[in-house]
Amino acid sequence: MGSATLDDVAKRAGVSAKTVSRVANGERSVRDDTRQRVLRAIEQLDYRPNLLARGLSGAHAYTIGLVYDNPNAYYIIAMQQGALGACDDMHFGLQIRPCNSRAPSLAEDLRDFVHRSRLSGLVLTTPVSERMASLQRLASYHIPFVRIISAARDPRDGFPCVYVDDRDAAYAITTHLLQLGHVRIGFLRGGKHHHASAERLKGYKDALRDYGVPLREDLMIEGDYVFDHGFRGARRLLDLAEPPTAIFGCNDEIAAGALAAAQSTGLHVPYDVSIAGFEDSPFSRHSWPPLTTARQRADIIVERATRMLIARIRGETVENESFNPELVVRGSTAPPRPKSRRRKRG
Amino acid sequence: MGSATLDDVAKRAGVSAKTVSRVANGERSVRDDTRQRVLRAIEQLDYRPNLLARGLSGAHAYTIGLVYDNPNAYYIIAMQQGALGACDDMHFGLQIRPCNSRAPSLAEDLRDFVHRSRLSGLVLTTPVSERMASLQRLASYHIPFVRIISAARDPRDGFPCVYVDDRDAAYAITTHLLQLGHVRIGFLRGGKHHHASAERLKGYKDALRDYGVPLREDLMIEGDYVFDHGFRGARRLLDLAEPPTAIFGCNDEIAAGALAAAQSTGLHVPYDVSIAGFEDSPFSRHSWPPLTTARQRADIIVERATRMLIARIRGETVENESFNPELVVRGSTAPPRPKSRRRKRG
DNA sequence: GCCTGCAAAGACAGCGCTGTCAATTTGCAG
DNA sequence: CTGCAAATTGACAGCGCTGTCTTTGCAGGC
């Protein structure tokens, strides 16, 4: 019924349980013929280690936690995929943990989460990874973690991380629009409390500055990472006396809102107005026209972070790593059309 | 460091560890003053049960597995939310398990998954829940599970389930289109191997029959639950000599593809062609125009299934339950426009 | 032949909890 | 008061594995 245990295998192979344990965990100090004998017994009995027993007995449970606070389903799934891939590969388990990154008790909640299941460590994604005070506390509890953050360069603050250069990608998108000939470019900001959002705004501003285009406050609109903000923000922009000829949404959902707003006004994208997003979510591929955006491989990023974490847990020293989102040009951006020829329908 | 254990609490409260265990698990047979004393000690020491120890010791780990084989991110997240909600509420843990529902070893993979972590049971979502042979095997391993399936009525096959009437919802959508005046209605089918897909096709056919509209094979196109099928399928339909005036996509992603196809051809939705989806995914709200669709609360459905499973694990007898998706009419459907007035733009 | 040193294998004691069953206390009729 | 069933509580043995320490086996140096 319940599958075979170490002892069963040990008896069959004529060795002690500890030796079977050694073989199962790939330890070196087992003579080759013994190892073969044990492996055969394991196979014959179809033995599978009991993860609970291993976790209870050992120093930790060979399981990591993936922590996120994000409303974006595609993002979460991509992250889970990345984490699961690395975990399967390294024979670790995975526990998922949605949470509220702004809860004052964040660090304590996570500590309990870790202790209750004896987790080996945590992968912290944005924006949880940006709550420095909580990270300090987590570190003081001796809980290993690796963060994924938005930064142009290695923060070197002692907390290991994978850092993603959002500024650079936003710069690339803005440059793309500028090179098409756009000058009035609207910016729909998202996630006031997300560092990534500030970085993207920075990239936008830097590009305008480098191209000698003056910033216009009325073209930058604050809001959240949601469709509705994109819709209303774009409406507001398009209702200006001098509306922008291009709109850059801080993520694909905002851009989707902007796209809907433009189309609902009877504007043709990209001929009447260009729209760009950020993320390369499936939405950006499935809308019409498909969105110009920045490709962010959340799955690969999280997979790297997970491998780093496991390496750290094993006591290896790890280097921080960086990722650069890349520009993906699709049908939603084109050169601006002379104002006179702009038309409305509907 | 590591949090307090049962023994610590027991000492502090001046009782045996077993009594603390009883209080922690909410068992009846503890006198009230003893219970209070123990609860106080638990609070003072900030005691949290160690889930691994509990799982190893007890008959099962108070943790369930959520099994899915689905490419749709929104769906998965909704299901996870529902399962997590119920699990948190019932003090159960949750393990997620993406899998390949068509693997011949499905039942054995799941058995190993259950044994390795001593899982209490499984929630099986479509299409895993439709692999009857595997379910038989799972049952023969004495693994408790609850399925979510697509069916018009209680299957009464001995395997507990939550059943969702896809046929009825598809009937409602088709009826909605017929009542708007559409006669040539295209159907883009998805997921050949999903029972839900067959049910939706059935709803479509039944509605046409009831309205005396003859079925036309050339208006029904097979494919998968993906955007691309929607796009190509819709193109094919729209290129017919007598194209449909409405297209029903078997899920929102297919409908999104159809929407993009129509728009890329220069057609105006819904004036030139109506489009309906199925699922009420965020996409259906975020496209322009937003999609008429069928609302399926995957979160609530999975939450119910999870509660049923836990009740079953506790030895209670449970009744199967049913859910009906409901019609959500949005901007993508409207009465057909006379053919002569149909227009294209470029 | 004897001792040293190292690799290989085993013994044993838990990890923190629950199931089982025995011991103790309590409540209450007689 | 006494007796007895019912209600509480506790003792104890694991659950299946790993960490630590010990023992065993064997090659090499004198």
In DSSP notation, B156-167 reads -SSS-EEEE-HH
How far is residue B312's CA from residue B314's CA, in Å, rounded to a whole number? 5
Cα-based angle A44, A48, A51 (whole degrees, multiple of 5):
165
- Which one, of B292, B288, B213, B208, lies nearest residue B248 by Cα? B292
A94/D21 CA-to-C1' distance in Å: 33
B237/C2 CA-to-C1' distance in Å: 95
Q: Do B256 and A287 touch (CB under 8 A)?
A: yes
Q: What is the pLDDT of residue A165?
A: 96
Omega cis (within 30) before B127: yes
Q: Do B98 and A84 touch (CB under 8 A)?
A: yes
Q: Do B118 and A52 touch (CB under 8 A)?
A: yes
- Closest CB from A3, A61, A286 relative to B52: A61
How far is residue B106's CA from residue B158's CA, in Å, rounded to a whole number? 20
**Residue of chain A whose Cα is closest to the Cα of B2:** A115
Assigned token pair, A110:
């996570």
Q: Of B109, B272, B287, which to mutate for an interface test with A (greatest number of A Cβ within 10 Å)? A: B287
Q: With contacts defined as CB-CB under 8 Å, which chain A residues touch B81?
A: 98
Q: With contacts defined as CB-CB under 8 Å, which chain A residues touch B116?
A: 48-51
B147/C29 CA-to-C1' distance in Å: 54
Tell me which residues of chain B have a pLDDT lower than 50.
Answer: 341-346
B7/D16 CA-to-C1' distance in Å: 21
Omega cis (within 30) before A270: yes
User: For strand A93-98 and strand A321-323, is the pairing parallel, antiparallel, or unpaired?
Assistant: unpaired
Please give the nucleotide, over all strands, whose C1' is closest to the CA of residue B31.
D8
Is the minimum distance from the CB of B17 to strand D below 7 Å? yes
| Closest protein residue to C6 (Cα–C1') | A29
Is the minimum distance from the CB of B34 to strand C below 7 Å? no
Q: What is the pLDDT of residue B193?
A: 86
Please give the nucleotide, over all strands, whose C1' is closest to the CA of residue B57.
D15
A144 to each of A76, A130, A313, B178, how far by Cα in Å? Answer: 22, 16, 7, 60
Alpha carbon B160 to chain centroid, angstroms: 16
Q: Do B257 and A118 touch (CB under 8 A)?
A: no
B285/D28 CA-to-C1' distance in Å: 80
Q: Do A61 and B76 touch (CB under 8 A)?
A: no
Q: With contacts defined as CB-CB under 8 Å, which chain A residues touch B117?
A: 51-52, 93
Q: Of A48, A51, A114, A141, which to mutate for an interface test with B (greatest number of B Cβ within 10 Å)? A: A51
**Residue of chain A whose Cα is closest to the Cα of B113:** A48
Q: Of B77, B84, B94, B111, which to mutate for an interface test with A (greatest number of A Cβ within 10 Å)? A: B77
Is the minimum distance from the CB of B183 to strand D below 7 Å? no
| Closest protein residue to D15 (Cα–C1') | B57
Q: With contacts defined as CB-CB under 8 Å, which chain A residues touch B53?
A: 56
State the CB neighbour count (10 A cutoff) for residue A338.
Answer: 8
Is the minimum distance from the CB of B25 to strand C below 7 Å? yes
A44/C12 CA-to-C1' distance in Å: 28
Whether residue B47 contacts residue B3, with contact meaning beta carbons closer than 8 Å, is answered with yes
Is the minimum distance from the CB of A281 to strand C below 7 Å? no
Please give the nucleotide, over all strands, whose C1' is closest to the CA of residue B54.
C17
How far is residue A306's CA from residue A118's CA, in Å, rounded to a whole number? 17
Provide the phi-psi class of B14: left if phi over 0, else alpha when psi is between -120 and 50, else beta: left
Closest Cα in chain B, distance from residue A172 (Å) = 26
Q: Which residues contact B306 (CB under 8 A, 6 or more apart)?
A: B64, B66, B82, B83, B86, B87, B123, B146
Strands (E), A238-283: 246-249, 274-276
Q: Do A264 and B84 touch (CB under 8 A)?
A: no
How far is residue B342's CA from residue B243's CA, in Å, rounded to a whole number? 12
Please give the nucleotide, over all strands, whose C1' is closest to the CA of residue A33.
C8
**Mean pLDDT by 10-residue block, N- to C-terminus, for chain A (346 residues)?**
84 93 90 92 94 93 95 92 95 95 95 94 96 95 95 93 96 98 97 92 98 96 94 96 96 95 94 96 91 96 96 90 95 85 46
Q: With contacts defined as CB-CB under 8 Å, which chain B residues touch A282?
A: 73, 227
Is the minimum distance from the CB of A17 to strand D below 7 Å? yes
Residues in chain A: 346
Q: What is the pLDDT of residue B345?
A: 45
- Closest CB from B53, B84, B259 relative to A288: B259
Q: What is the pLDDT of residue A315?
A: 86
Is the minimum distance from the CB of A34 to strand D below 7 Å? no
- Closest CB from A51, A73, A256 relative to B73: A73
Q: Do B73 and A2 touch (CB under 8 A)?
A: no
Closest Cα in chain B, distance from residue A210 (Å) = 34
Give residue-wise pLDDT tens across range A67-102: 999 888 999 999 999 999 999 999 899 999 999 999
B76/D23 CA-to-C1' distance in Å: 55
Phi, psi for residue B19 in degrees, rounded to 5: -65, -40
Q: With contacts defined as CB-CB under 8 Å, which chain B residues touch A253?
A: 286
